[in-house]
A and B are shown apart, each in its own frame.
Chain A
């Protein structure tokens, strides 16, 4: 189901907003000119993952170094800190473990979600 959740200008950069789309809580993130959306339910213990903090992904070339990849936004679940990248919802420590993402696109300056029937 196609759901219009607002104008692009309604979304502040780097801030995740929770919207209700077809009875689902969906977190929508604007990250510069890109949009991401994921269900507000953590696969670990069903915590409200979208209430977590979003940042660029931390990485490291070698022990002791700390770099941030601003191209890859990640969210840390507020309950136990598990981190997921927003693009595919994948956990940083296991790509096969993921939060469900919601397809999102911009149409004529509107942010539009495609919420499937089978979503939570």
Chain B
């Protein structure tokens, strides 16, 4: 098994109760949400989606003392951080990641602000290895941009994260651009997490809605593909040339075939998008990273490796566990499925490039982290 330093790019930290988040809301929104008599609180999370017959969590991640998986730092530390040499973990929220699925844009913006403060306060303070995404209520892109800028001075708030899609337009659409302007300005990548568009807003599947979690999970890459194509076709990387994005939990073996098709179509349809100065695959090469989980499983692992290699994805893949979700990928498992000469890049080096971190700084910091445990 790979034993070098690891950066885990998708760790879902969650809260067990509304009561954890409510103190971070403004007084007015606290009043709006709470004490509605027998009706209880106004729900903070979007009530939608498909039920997973197993539940969404790995059964062993429920904290012994109660609460939701991912909600208890010591459990996460012991199960995830200490299980291998995890130097940094990027936190990606639990159900609050779906706040852009709320119909009320003002409420979503406030929830994003509160969730980010909760993340800084309750999580980043506990362990220097933890880094957080910045949730944004993409319903109000200007407010979302301000939220990103609000965290500019905190180097542990490392990326703006988009999940649900409030407008039924690919994320490259100009309506979202204020978010990217702020991300570029503050040097933060934009993370697009799978499941985008699958909750309260547009369906995440092309061709029609599906009926089961099984179908929706198989088809998760569709939404990610839509957003990737949208980013490149709208010239987001021409407009924001320093912007980097990371596609989370959408798989990766489809990327070569999509980019082959994308390049071929560009040759015939360039007239429609003359602002593109390069082939789509060239923008991908300079601006896009992709998480490993869930790595596609082929009967022969060489089939997947060969596909990934055809688009040099060994330089774009960043390790992600998806802890504590039911479909998490273990380091040991990935070690066996990917060529050994890729390991250091995939588990560590590529993420350093994504987040603009110096590898030496992080390797050296290992000793400090030990003391804080």
Output the least CB separation between A78 and chain B (Å): 11
B353 lies within 8 A of chain A by Cβ? no
17 pairs across A/B with beta carbons < 8 Å?
A59-B274, A60-B274, A60-B275, A62-B239, A63-B235, A63-B239, A64-B235, A67-B274, A76-B271, A80-B267, A81-B268, A82-B268, A83-B270, A83-B271, A92-B270, A93-B266, A93-B270
A66 lies within 8 A of chain B by Cβ? yes
Output the least CB separation between A63 and chain B (Å): 3
- Residues from chain A with a CB closer than 8 A to the CB of B279 are 93-94
Do A63 and B267 have beta carbons less than 8 Å apart?
A: no
- Closest B residue to A77 by beta carbon equals B268
Q: For the complex, what is the distance from the CA of A44 to the CA of B275, rounded to whole Å? A: 23
A91 lies within 8 A of chain B by Cβ? yes
Output the least CB separation between B11 and chain A (Å): 34
B367 lies within 8 A of chain A by Cβ? no
Do A66 and B266 have beta carbons less than 8 Å apart?
A: no
B238 lies within 8 A of chain A by Cβ? yes
- Residues from chain B with a CB closer than 8 A to the CB of A67 are 274
A58 lies within 8 A of chain B by Cβ? yes
Q: For the complex, what is the distance from the CA of A26 to the CA of B174, rounded to whole Å? A: 44
Please tell me the size bucket of the interface on A: 20 to 34
A65 lies within 8 A of chain B by Cβ? yes
Output the least CB separation between B172 and chain A (Å): 9
- Closest B residue to A58 by beta carbon equals B274
- Residues from chain A with a CB closer than 8 A to the CB of B270 are 83, 92-93
Please tell me the size bucket of the interface on B: 10 to 19
B242 lies within 8 A of chain A by Cβ? no
Do B239 and A91 have beta carbons less than 8 Å apart?
A: no
Produce 1/0 per residue, B261-283, CB < 8 A to A.
00000111111011100010000
Output the least CB separation between A62 and chain B (Å): 6
Q: For the complex, what is the distance from the CA of A61 to the CA of B235, rounded to whole Å? A: 11
Do A62 and B238 have beta carbons less than 8 Å apart?
A: yes
Q: For the complex, what is the distance from the CA of A97 to the CA of B18, rounded to whole Å? A: 60
- Residues from chain B with a CB closer than 8 A to the CB of A63 are 174, 234-236, 238-239, 275
- Closest A residue to B172 by beta carbon equals A63
- Closest B residue to A82 by beta carbon equals B267
Which chain B residues numbered 236 to 251 have a C-beta less than 8 Å away from chain A? Answer: 236, 238-239
Interface of chain A: mostly helix, strand, loop or mixed = loop
Q: For the complex, what is the distance from the CA of A11 to the CA of B273, rounded to whole Å? A: 32
- Residues from chain B with a CB closer than 8 A to the CB of A65 are 275
Which chain B residues numbered 142 to 178 have a C-beta less than 8 Å away from chain A? Answer: 174
Q: For the complex, what is the distance from the CA of A63 to the CA of B237, rounded to whole Å? A: 10
Q: For the complex, what is the distance from the CA of A44 to the CA of B264, rounded to whole Å? A: 11
Do A64 and B238 have beta carbons less than 8 Å apart?
A: no
- Residues from chain B with a CB closer than 8 A to the CB of A64 are 174, 235, 275
Q: For the complex, what is the distance from the CA of A66 to the CA of B234, rounded to whole Å? A: 13
Produce 1/0 per residue, A93-118, CB < 8 A to B.
11000000000000000000000000
Q: For the complex, what is the distance from the CA of A60 to the CA of B279, rounded to whole Å? A: 15
Do B235 and A81 have beta carbons less than 8 Å apart?
A: no
Output the least CB separation between A52 and chain B (Å): 11
Quick one: which of B234, B266, B274 has the most chain A CB within 10 A?
Answer: B274
Q: For the complex, what is the distance from the CA of A90 to the CA of B367, rounded to whole Å? A: 57
- Which 6 A/B pairs are nearest by Cβ-Cβ distance? A63-B235, A81-B268, A60-B275, A60-B274, A63-B275, A58-B274
- Residues from chain A with a CB closer than 8 A to the CB of B267 are 44, 80-82, 91, 93
- Residues from chain B with a CB closer than 8 A to the CB of A91 are 267
Q: For the complex, what is the distance from the CA of A61 to the CA of B273, rounded to whole Å? A: 11
Do B268 and A80 have beta carbons less than 8 Å apart?
A: yes
> Contacts A63-B174, A83-B270 given; 7 further ones with Cβ under 8 A?
A44-B267, A59-B274, A60-B273, A61-B275, A76-B271, A80-B267, A80-B268
Which chain B residues numbered 286 to 323 have a C-beta less than 8 Å away from chain A? Answer: none
- Residues from chain B with a CB closer than 8 A to the CB of A66 are 274
Output the least CB separation between B268 and chain A (Å): 4
Quick one: which of B174, B236, B266, B275 has the most chain A CB within 10 A?
Answer: B275
Q: For the complex, what is the distance from the CA of A60 to the CA of B276, rounded to whole Å? A: 8
